Structure 1
């Protein structure tokens, strides 16, 4: 037992992932029932995500001066939108070069009860604003929660000169610390939960389904990994840090992302490791990480644009430059406030497909491998959020290189 405690949580998660794949392949349909254990772990994490996002954004915005918020907000917008558009463009380029939709045959899996937003642009914009914040929290509508938190934090930043305002900011900060501690305790169950999730997925769909769509998965995986490597290189040069040290510091975040395929579940780990391993100040950390989760989905944008090109090839449709541009823009906009839990990619795809005149039913082609493609989507979604936060912290002079280099530990 003592030896197990010495094994880091990251290594335990990696072992659980491998054992889960083996168990699923061996026991197949007989192990599907274990999924309830994985779902229980996900729910334990997800039950605090909404208030964690709200609290983090309120604390971060409330602690800023208005001019600081404008400055940091502009930087976030540039990095978020720029990186998402580039990711969507890369998805299109790889799709046109590799042609994963050519020769694709058959229909795999089924898609049930996907919500497609058929509303006008005005309705979509209105849906960003909550009519009732309690209802938005209950529905886990992340973009509405963030909008409310931004306005609440802005109001708090204006009244924090008063004693009651300072007390409120301090209360929010203390509350966030308790929530993070709770999530840290729950994360000790991660190896068990991840083993159950992966074993159930592999047991249910088998490894045979990968053969039919392996070309699509390889295209997505190659594009995602190469894009991430480029981002790691840019961050290393921009922040003047060690490439190997950066990889080491984000490794646990990466493992949580690819094994849970959920940006929401990864958020608490991003915030904790951003502060304690990367040396990002709380001011930047608690603002950029939650906002990035809902507004900076590079992996999803790449997946959507590549899927559009793949479906066009499957139906033997020649896309014009204008249609490809539209695919990039739709893939970028569809990432705003999307579902940040496993399976959210299919929901976003169901939103984009009708806008390009492609049949929604064809999403079933990718449904069977959604978990596997979710690995690459979440990898980019999560890791690039962290890298953007690191870049902004470096810009603002709020990157503690002592913590980043492991020369000192984080202290409250």
Structure 2
């Protein structure tokens, strides 16, 4: 009996290990393919499969505010800033982010990829199926925010969910010493990131559910518009890259093509891993060894600035909000687009340390202008590719800031770049 139980536990661990060892983008591609097949097969009966997507999005929405709060606090506490260079760094980061969001909104307003197709709100299509589904009743007990259950005396199940999740997540940190405020913030952030990893494991399930439900109920119409969205985002990211190279040419001693050749390893790593945090050491090393920047310039831009610089992410989230609004036939006013700008900036600051940061912060941007977060799950079908593209732009932004901080004179005036 015990041997059978042991074999079952081992097989479950092996299955979970295989699932986590498979890259997220491959799991998402498989989920899309399976969702298409199930949606075509089941037709309108596939509407109930939208509920797993809603569950994942609700969990992401609940985690977003505390994650962003703790990430910004940790980034500000750990950043070594001081003097005129610090002010220059902050100015460059703010300018680059504002330009990125401006480019994103401009391209989205000009191309209007969401208007290439029209969609009805996703929650209307599945309302009838969800009403009788026990999973929908379970979804109602999942807290929409971490603080929500504590303000509602009747939300006992929500408190239990949070207690169990935090208790399990903190098991690996229970022996971590807490001597300073920074230690306390670190433990809190690490516990939330542990929970976030669990939710990310469920993202392919959400993609499967939303693809199957949309195709089963409405066919392929909504997904055709995603092609226009991908084209628009790539066009905007290309314009942002052009802006970076122009600034390097005008305000730095290093020629743009020379810089690109020097940091190409970092850009390729950023695209392949989808993580600007993992790429930081490579970016710094290439800026020092290949490009020849001063140590202070390379470290300020590639190490310190990278914790705040997420231009590609901010651009993408602003465009996503406009795309979904266009898809639903909603017109965001200038004031609402300004709210998108402000929220995208706040959400992008410090998000470099959060895995799949775009998934977390996008819920905040959507809620700020009252857009349905249901459509974030649809964007996940192409997010795995666009995430790599915008991460490469994030790293290119770090490189640009380092070059601009280095100025127009090289450290060794007796040598010149080839």
**TM-score (norm: length of structure 1):** 0.59
The answer as to 2:390 corresponding to 1:405 is no
Task: Provide the rounded CA distance (Å) in 2 between the counterparts of 1:402 and 1:331.
Answer: 44
* Alignment CA distance shift 1:262-1:140 (3 Å): farther
| 8 A contact 1:353–1:360 mirrored in 2 | yes
Q: Which has the larger share of helix?
A: 2
The answer as to 2:86 corresponding to 1:83 is no
3-state SS, counterpart of residue 405 of structure 1 = coil
Task: Provide the rounded CA distance (Å) in 2 between the counterparts of 1:401 and 1:255.
Answer: 30
Any residues of structure 2 matched to 1:10-409 within 5 Å, and which? 33=18, 36=21, 69-102=82-115, 103=117, 105=119, 132-138=181-187, 213-340=226-353, 342-394=355-407, 399-400=411-412, 405=417
Task: Provide the rounded CA distance (Å) in 2 between the counterparts of 1:239 and 1:274.
Answer: 13
Residue 137 (structure 1) shift: 3.2
Task: Provide the rounded CA distance (Å) in 2 between the counterparts of 1:403 and 1:277.
Answer: 13
Task: Provide the rounded CA distance (Å) in 1 between the counterparts of 2:388 and 2:400.
Answer: 18
Q: How many residues align?
A: 280
Task: Provide the rounded CA distance (Å) in 2 between the counterparts of 1:360 and 1:37.
Answer: 27
Give the root-mean-square deviation of aligned CA atoms.
3.8
Residue 104 (structure 1) shift: 5.2
Q: Which protein shows a greater Rg?
A: 2
| 8 A contact 2:93–2:309 mirrored in 1 | yes
* Alignment CA distance shift 1:400-1:105 (3 Å): farther
Q: Which runs of 5+ in 1 are unaligned?
A: 1-31, 40-49, 62-68, 120-129, 142-200, 407-412
Residue 105 (structure 1) shift: 4.8
1:15 matched residue in structure 2: none
* Alignment CA distance shift 1:345-1:403 (3 Å): farther
| 8 A contact 2:252–2:406 mirrored in 1 | no
Task: Provide the rounded CA distance (Å) in 1 between the counterparts of 2:18 and 2:367.
Answer: 35
Which region of structure 1 is more displaced relative to structure 2, 385-394 or 275-284? 275-284
Deviations 1:275-299 (A, max 9, x none): 1112122222223322222211110
3-state SS, counterpart of residue 241 of structure 1 = coil
3-state SS, counterpart of residue 371 of structure 2 = coil
Q: Which runs of 5+ in 2 are unaligned?
A: 1-16, 25-70, 123-138, 149-178, 191-203, 212-219
Residue 403 (structure 1) shift: 8.0
* Alignment CA distance shift 1:315-1:212 (3 Å): closer
Task: Provide the rounded CA distance (Å) in 1 between the counterparts of 2:234 and 2:405.
Answer: 27
Task: Provide the rounded CA distance (Å) in 1 between the counterparts of 2:288 and 2:189.
Answer: 25
Residue 85 (structure 1) shift: 0.9
| 8 A contact 1:279–1:402 mirrored in 2 | no
Task: Provide the rounded CA distance (Å) in 2 between the counterparts of 1:117 and 1:70.
Answer: 39
| 8 A contact 2:93–2:305 mirrored in 1 | yes
**TM-score (norm: length of structure 2):** 0.58
Residue 135 (structure 1) shift: 3.7
1:167 matched residue in structure 2: none
1:181 matched residue in structure 2: none
Residue 305 (structure 1) shift: 0.7
